[in-house]
Structure 1
Amino acid sequence: MRSYLDEFDRRDWQEESPDGTVRLAVIGLGWFAREQALPGIEKSEFSETTVLVTGSPEASQQLAAENGVEHVLSYEAFHDGEAEDAYDAVYVATPTGRHLEYVETAADLGKAVLCEKPMEKTVERAERLQETCEEAGVPLMVGYRPRLEPDFRRAPAS
């Protein structure tokens, strides 16, 4: 019984990445990004925030300093490809109806995409988002964490 309990929260998918740490550009710095995403990324062994993308770069300098982030970009600078060598993937945390435009830019830049849920505001836009990543050959993942939890993964399929 003890060994079962010791292993209960082990993540069966978790392995050390041969590619090292994934460097993320976090796009959108609203409540969720500031209070949930950035602290979660900081705790992760596998990722780090290297770029912040916001509508208010000047106002976000302190947030960048608090999180050890070197680059703070405006949305326009992100779309122009500024600092693209400073990150491997994007975490899209903008309002839902704006996800597609940032995913399109990330895909054009060859960056993997982690997109907050819901993916977009309509099924058609969500399908375009998925097609954009598929055509660019970049991974797309939706930020739905519970499916990775050990107890969820052990639950019988219905």
Structure 2
Amino acid sequence: MKAKRVTGGKVRYGIVAGGSISQGQFMPGVRNTKNSELTVLVTGDPEKADVLKEEFGLKNTYHYDDFDKLLTADEVDALYVATPNHLHTPYVVPALKAGIHVLLEKPMAVREEDCRAMIAAAQESGAKLMVAYRLHFEPATVAAVEQVRAGDVGDVRAFTSTFSQFLRPDNHRAKNGFDDGPVYDMGVYPINACRQFFGAEPIEVRAVASRNPEAGLGDLDDTVSVTLRFPNDGQAVFIASYGMHEFEHYSVVGSKGSLSVQPAYSYGHGLAYDVTIGDEKEHKSYPETDQFGGEAEYFSNCILNDLDPEPDGEEGWCDVRIVEAIRRALETGQPQTLEPYTRKGRIEPSQVMGLPPAQKFEMVNASDPSKNGD
């Protein structure tokens, strides 16, 4: 099956899973673009199907059990897949093989072999596969990466980060062990960020886990600390947690200066960073942008103009192979060695998207996964 060719000027999107990220962010984001439109929703919730169909003017809705029918219905050009992490592959691989382009929420998968299966399916049909690293299109993040890349802070020696929240015990992320745990759900943010700032892939992984009984998450390592060693002996150290107060931050320290970002990974507000070069300090702030609409507009542009997206399957796999090494480090209590690897592409300044914030609406049968969202 050959990849979908779009000639109507707008890419038709189907949404697979109508959870909080789809309803609250991506669907309003698509409505905020000039080159994309929503046509289909796949959900197991009849109320979501009815309300969202009316709200967004969808042409059709499907139950998960009827996903195969969608693949042959010619109602979408691309799918946005936002199922739980361990359920990505059953929807992504058939869609790519059917020639439908896929924008996949991170993490790409929970096994490296699943990543490879997705990459192979995309190569087979020519359909485009992009992993939804929305910060690759956010102005403050890209500016920080560019400033470090330009050598302003000197040789990068260290990256440190904490990303935490109190997860609701009834959320699906608390029920599937490591596959939906804090490293895959939150740890991919500092993993992806440090790879950009070092401009390289790590060669060694160490990890330690702990559990906070007050978090109420049962048999789940709710807090994990990780150390990554890079080829130039730079180190990245981060903590990902479901058992601590909501917090997000990262710092990059080099031989000439440092850069610090807080908040670092979230949306719904503008991001900013502080940079120190020698004795000079500067605060740089950027306006809020629609991060989800921005990634949709970028991906649609790639589809319409037959361009390869930057955060592609290789980018997603680079993070997953690190998370899988973290899993092995926790299971064995031993450091894990990664084979040296060179990533073919990196973030470029031209990827910055400046869409204004999208208009939101009241979500249907969906809520913030964090206790802090009460």
Shorter-chain TM-score: what band?
A: 0.7 to 0.9
Alpha-carbon offset, residue 106 of structure 1: 0.9
CA distance in 2, matches of 1:37, 1:97: 20
Note the residue ranges of structure 1 that are not aligned, 5 or more in a row. Answer: 1-16
How high is the sequence identity, in percent, across the aligned residues?
Answer: 36
Say whether the 8 Å CA contact 1:106–1:112 is kept in structure 2: yes
CA distance in 1, matches of 2:102, 2:16: 11
Name the amino acid aligned to 2:50: Q
Q: TM-score, normalised by structure 2?
A: 0.35
Q: Which residue does 2:50 correspond to in 1? A: 61
1:5-41 C-alpha deviation (Å, 9 max, x unpaired): xxxxxxxxxxxx9751111000011111111111111
CA distance in 1, matches of 2:95, 2:71: 12
Matched, 1:46 2:50: no
CA distance in 2, matches of 1:64, 1:83: 20
CA distance in 2, matches of 1:153, 1:69: 34
1:33-92 C-alpha deviation (Å, 9 max, x unpaired): 111111111111121110001123454211111111120011222223466311111111
1:128-149 C-alpha deviation (Å, 9 max, x unpaired): 2222212221110010122123
Q: Which residue does 2:97 correspond to in 1? A: 108
CA distance in 1, matches of 2:12, 2:48: 22
Say whether the 8 Å CA contact 1:57–1:73 is kept in structure 2: no
Q: TM-score, normalised by structure 1?
A: 0.79
Q: Which residue does 1:3 correspond to in 2? A: none
Range with bigger deviation, 127-136 or 114-123: 127-136
Alignment of 1:84-123 (within 5 A): 84-123=73-112
Q: Which residue does 2:20 correspond to in 1? A: 31
Say whether the 8 Å CA contact 1:26–1:91 is kept in structure 2: yes
CA distance in 1, matches of 2:47, 2:94: 22
Alpha-carbon offset, residue 126 of structure 1: 1.7
Matched, 1:134 2:123: yes
Say whether the 8 Å CA contact 2:104–2:131 is kept in structure 1: yes
Say whether the 8 Å CA contact 1:79–1:102 is kept in structure 2: no
In 2 relative to 1, CA 137–82 (structure 1 residues): closer, same or farther, beyond 3 Å? closer
Between Structure 1 and Structure 2, the one with more helix by share is 1
Q: Runs of 4 or more off by more than 6 Å in structure 1?
A: none
Say whether the 8 Å CA contact 1:81–1:109 is kept in structure 2: no
Larger radius of gyration: 2
In 2 relative to 1, CA 82–114 (structure 1 residues): closer, same or farther, beyond 3 Å? closer
Q: Which residue does 1:147 correspond to in 2? A: 136
CA distance in 2, matches of 1:83, 1:71: 13
Alignment of 1:68-83 (within 5 A): 68-81=57-70
Size of the alignment, in residue pairs?
Answer: 142
Between Structure 1 and Structure 2, the one with more strand by share is 2
Range with bigger deviation, 86-95 or 75-84: 75-84
CA RMSD of aligned residues (A): 2.1
- Which residue of 102, 109, 113 corresponds with 1:124? 113
